[in-house]
Structure 1
Amino acid sequence: MCSDGQVNVRGRWTERLRGNGSAATVAQALGVAVLGLLFIAVGLVDAWGFPGGVVVDPWWFAIPLAVACGAMLIKRRHPLVALGIGLVAFGVDAYAGGSLGVIVALVDLLYAAALFSGPGIPRRLVAAALAVVLAVTAVTFIVGGSLQDTVIMGVQAFALLGTPLWWGLSVRQQRELADLAAARALDIQRLSELRESDAVRGERTRMASELHDALAGNLSAIAIHSAAALAQQQPDHRDAEALRAIRSASIEALEELRSMIELLRGEGDALIAPARLAEVCDLVTAVRSRGVDVHYTVTPDPPPHLPAAVDHAAYRIVQEALANATRHAIGAAVHVSVEVAVESLSIVVSNSRGASMVDPTLGGLGTTTMRERSEALGGSFAAGWDSNDDWVVRATIPIVSATV
């Protein structure tokens, strides 16, 4: 992933450099052309001074100069093509003796090739330049035999070919490092934004949980107790209308609270809602994962839609009964039976003494809580030992009264 990022950064800055500076490129080409013509005008030709070279008119050097300066115009978009044209112009110019203007143009084209060419090309150019320098040095020594001339020619060849390539490669590396640093800074900024977003999401989730814990339970309790009070009142009792209004308002407030919690948690987050009887299967699976042998049956399966108060109370009773069985009867099998009839819902949870059995009536509020949940909805509750020496929890919750 890191290497891909580097290639992308190189591509971005290379394209940016190639696409910009058209006016500067034209100005550079014109500057070299004018400078070269001035050199020709003052007689600075025959730069290489090859013995036995051809004799030409000094203004003949303007032709390879014009070709080399024309190649400079395409050095950003096509650096290797421009370098090839420049090398041909330099070869022709050197054959006639050489002019300083073409040498300046070749230096610029070598620098541009190192700076603007694709990845991997500059190092190949450096290797080729070193090979040419060694070849020129060797040929000079073989032909002339003078060590001094050989060293001078080798230094000149290296200065002409190696220096602009080294300079261009150095500038290229610095720009790549700068772009990589900018890309890294951008990645750090994006990471910081993601962390901030996660923190905000976590805070919203925490607020949603606190809203649910602080208000949803109280609103559910109001709905449950008002429904229980309605079940004990006569239909024409003067308080019945007020109780119905209280229950309706509490249920509407609970629905609005759920909408607020959903908005706080955001799309894609799990919604907080009171547990229902349909989720007992997940509860049983979780208890079984801890090594407890649980037998669960529900009639009908799946259970029908129930009033929210009855649905929630049934789940909590089963949950508390399972918790008591696994806590007080270690290793005992637990049987859970839920039956939904037309007018009522029945829950039976039983377990044997197991390897170790503590009296469930001692030291806990589980039985009291289950009793209160059942009786608050007008139902009944009983817990105790049966004739088979099993601990049995029975709860019956009317369905009709909860819908009044």
Structure 2
Amino acid sequence: MGVVLIAGGAVLERGAPTWALCVPLAIACAGVVVRQRAPLVSLGLGVVAVTIDAFVGPSLATVLTFTDNLYAAALYGPARFARWLLYITAALAVGAGAVAGLLAENWWMLAVMGVQAGLVLVTPVTTAIVLREQRDRAAAERVRAEQVAHLAELDRQAAVAGERTRMARELHDMIANHFSAIAIQSTAALSRKDLDPATVRRIMESVRENSVQGLAEMRAMIGLLRQEGDDFAEATRPRLADAGTLVERVARAGLVVELRVQGELRELPASVDLAGYRIVQEALTNALKHGGSPVRAVISYEAGRVLVSVENALVGRGARLPGAGAGVIGMRERARLVGGSFEAGLAGDGDVWRVVADLPVGDDQGTAVDEQAVLFRFAVGPSETEAGGVGSGGGGVSR
């Protein structure tokens, strides 16, 4: 296209042959070839070409090609160099107009040459700088989007890990209580050869009851995992007020258990209610697996908080059942998740294991049921004690 322009007469005639005008054009076009790989080399070739063209022409083809050399240097070259190139081309445009005006002694020539030099020198550099800023901004936005996506993925992974931990904690607390009683009762029944049929029947009834209740809670949890709303979860949520059922179940497995409820019973927040229930459940399960009678559980409703305490005697023998070591960890996690505190360890003279959880309610109002302490005592009857402490009931309940 440059050759076509030269052949068409788009040059300032100075008597130079046509081939001489093609030499600076070829040099400038060589700069276009390396514009991305070596933008400063492209600019250097363009400066050489336009300088030669000024002596033999100048020609419109070489000047137009030189504008691409400037554009490439500002776009692909160093950012600082692009800014300096803008200052230099602006100064050259003003200087070219001033020189032309002085030589022609015509201020109109100053304006015309200044505008032409600005179009040739300043416009390509300005365009390149604007495009460069847009590209840098787009690159920054891409990096930012990648960072946001990475953070979102980390949040998702943390949510999945938290949900898996919560599910593991729920399954552990729910299953351990039922199946610990089943394992202990069935082991005792198998180890004793002198049990009468009535005692064996009571043991099997208790085993069946724990199995049915465990399956019911498992179905409830599966339903919770499948449902999307919160109504079903609220209907099946275990409550601290149902701790008597846990105590009675442990008593049927062979322990003497005492439950004391103090203060004003109130409607607790769902998270606190569930945490308290699970802590009592796990503490009683540990007493059944690792401890002995008597077991004392105290639920105290106080202003702004609920105190849960479970203590059991320690026996010299080993644990009835092996443990996974996650019980105390799970109880501590439950207490911390609702902003409470948890302690577990030896008490008294070292012959008692005590679990204490302080759960904040954040609400000092409640519905009074009984201002006096309510005491429930669950114990196995004489026949079950003689049978190895594995009876299914028959114990007295005092209040």
What number of residue pairs does the alignment pair up? 261
1:363 to 352, 356, 373: 373
Q: In the alignment, which residue of structure 1 is the partner of 2:352? A: 347
Secondary structure of the corresponding residue to residue 83 of structure 2? helix
Q: Deviation per CA, 1:236-279, whole angstroms, max 9, x where unpaired?
A: 87888x989x79xx9xx9xxx9xxxxxx9xxxxxxx996769x9
Shift of 1:309: 7.0
1:94 partner letter: A
Shift of 1:113: 1.9
Q: In the alignment, which residue of structure 1 is the partner of 2:8? A: 42
Q: In the alignment, which residue of structure 2 is the partner of 1:101? A: 61
2:183 to 219, 223, 231: 223
Q: Deviation per CA, 1:1-37, whole angstroms, max 9, x where unpaired?
A: xxxxxxxxxxxxxxxxxxxxxxxxxxxxxxxxxx221
Q: In the alignment, which residue of structure 1 is the partner of 2:253? A: none
Secondary structure of the corresponding residue to residue 120 of structure 1? helix
Distance in 1, matches of 2:150 and 2:389, equals 57
Q: In the alignment, which residue of structure 2 is the partner of 1:398? A: none
Distance in 2, matches of 1:220 and 1:201, equals 27
Q: Deviation per CA, 1:369-395, whole angstroms, max 9, x where unpaired?
A: 7x78xx89859xxxxxxxxxxxxxxxx
Q: In the alignment, which residue of structure 2 is the partner of 1:308? A: 321
1:207 paired with 2:212, answer no
Distance in 1, matches of 2:155 and 2:323, equals 42
Distance in 2, matches of 1:161 and 1:36, equals 19
Query: 8 Å contact 2:42–2:72 — kept in the other structure?
Result: no
Distance in 2, matches of 1:78 and 1:180, equals 24
Query: 8 Å contact 1:68–1:89 — kept in the other structure?
Result: yes
Distance in 2, matches of 1:194 and 1:176, equals 27
1:347 partner letter: V
Secondary structure of the corresponding residue to residue 337 of structure 1? coil
Secondary structure of the corresponding residue to residue 149 of structure 1? helix
Taking a change above 3 Å as real, the CA distance of residues 207 and 347 of structure 1, as seen in their structure-2 partners, is closer
2:352 partner letter: I
1:363 partner letter: A
Q: Deviation per CA, 1:296-317, whole angstroms, max 9, x where unpaired?
A: xxx9xxx9964437999xx9xx
Distance in 2, matches of 1:44 and 1:198, equals 69
Distance in 1, matches of 2:120 and 2:110, equals 15
2:349 to 314, 330, 337: 337
State the superposition RMSD in angstroms. 4.9
Q: In the alignment, which residue of structure 1 is the partner of 2:135? A: 175
Distance in 2, matches of 1:199 and 1:96, equals 74
Q: TM-score, normalised by structure 1?
A: 0.51
Map residues 73-152 of structure 1 onto 2, 5 A cutoff: 73-152=33-112
2:54 partner letter: A
Taking a change above 3 Å as real, the CA distance of residues 237 and 108 of structure 1, as seen in their structure-2 partners, is same
Query: 8 Å contact 1:71–1:85 — kept in the other structure?
Result: yes
| Percent of residue pairs bearing the same amino acid type | 34
Query: 8 Å contact 1:44–1:100 — kept in the other structure?
Result: yes
Shift of 1:141: 4.4
Q: In the alignment, which residue of structure 1 is the partner of 2:239? A: none
Taking a change above 3 Å as real, the CA distance of residues 220 and 85 of structure 1, as seen in their structure-2 partners, is same
Taking a change above 3 Å as real, the CA distance of residues 234 and 219 of structure 1, as seen in their structure-2 partners, is same
Structure 1 unaligned spans of 5+: 1-34, 48-53, 258-263, 265-271, 281-298, 320-333, 339-345, 350-361, 380-404
Distance in 2, matches of 1:309 and 1:55, equals 107
Query: 8 Å contact 1:223–1:309 — kept in the other structure?
Result: no
Distance in 1, matches of 2:353 and 2:158, equals 44
